[in-house]
Amino acid sequence: MSFRKSIRGRRGRRRVSSHFELQLTSMMDVLVIIVVFLLKSYSTATNQFSAMAGVQLPYSFSQDSPPDSLHLILTPEAMTFENERILEFTRSAGDVGTSDASYSLRPSDTDEGGRRVIPLYDALIKARNKSELLRAKSTKRDAQGNPLPFEGVLAIQADKRVHYDTIRRVMYTAGAAGYKVFRFLAMKKE
């Protein structure tokens, strides 16, 4: 009895393997749809900017895609320049334990009447020197044969809760360090 069963089982298996064919056409259809969707939503922008976890970006109707540049991230708690946390704000003593706390710069972190942020200034100057050195070594030259001038563009990606007073200090500091153009980043509103 068991011998018969095993023979029948083997025959059955053989029959299935000889006729079975995977239908790839429907799978191809699905994949083509996915590829078309991905190609449609594929951004050809040449920048590395992306929404950072924990940062609530505001929405904008602007259509301008930002080219790659030096990148400053401002959250209500800290300042990050080129993926390096350079400064942390202090939480006001009166707001400890409340949900909507306010943060401020330490007086020791600023000078020029509180307008210039020292750690940010140092980081910006360092980045500028590095950029100028790279440009001096580069083969790209202007009409007079001099190295290309420093562009001085700073992309500011701030949380929507960050106050203008902080942004103003950042802009003043960047201006003092030779950065003449600011790009305010936001999420695209459709």
Partner 1 sequence: MLKRPTSKRKSKNQQIELNLVPILDTMVTLIGFLLFTTSFLAIVSIESPFPETNSAQVEKKIKERPLQLTLSLREKESELWSPFERIPSKVIPHATPELPTGVPQPDIKKIHDALIAIKQQFPEETQLILVPNPSANYDLLIGVMDTARAIEPTDPPLFRKNPKSGNSETIKTLFPEIIFGNLLETEGGA
* 167 touches 79 (CB < 8 A): no
* 65 makes contact with partner 1 (CB under 8 A): yes
The sign one gets for the Cα dihedral 48, 54, 58, 60 is positive
Applying CB under 8 A, among 6, 10, 51, 148 the residue interacting with partner 1 is 51
Q: In terms of CB distance, is 1 or 53 closer to partner 1?
A: 53
Indicate left, alpha or beta for 37 from its phi (over 0: left) and psi (-120 to 50: alpha). alpha
Q: How far is the CB of 5 from partner 1 (least distance, A)?
A: 36
From the list 55, 59, 94, 90, the residue with the least C-alpha distance to 71 is 55
Q: Which residue has the tokens 């050809």?
A: 44
Applying CB under 8 A, among 14, 54, 58, 95 the residue interacting with partner 1 is 58
Binding residues for partner 1, total number by CB under 8 A: 65
Residues at the site binding partner 1, with contacts judged by CB under 8 A: 24-25, 27-28, 31-32, 34-35, 38-39, 41-43, 45, 47, 49-51, 57-66, 74, 89, 102-105, 113-115, 155, 157-169, 171-172, 174-175, 179-188
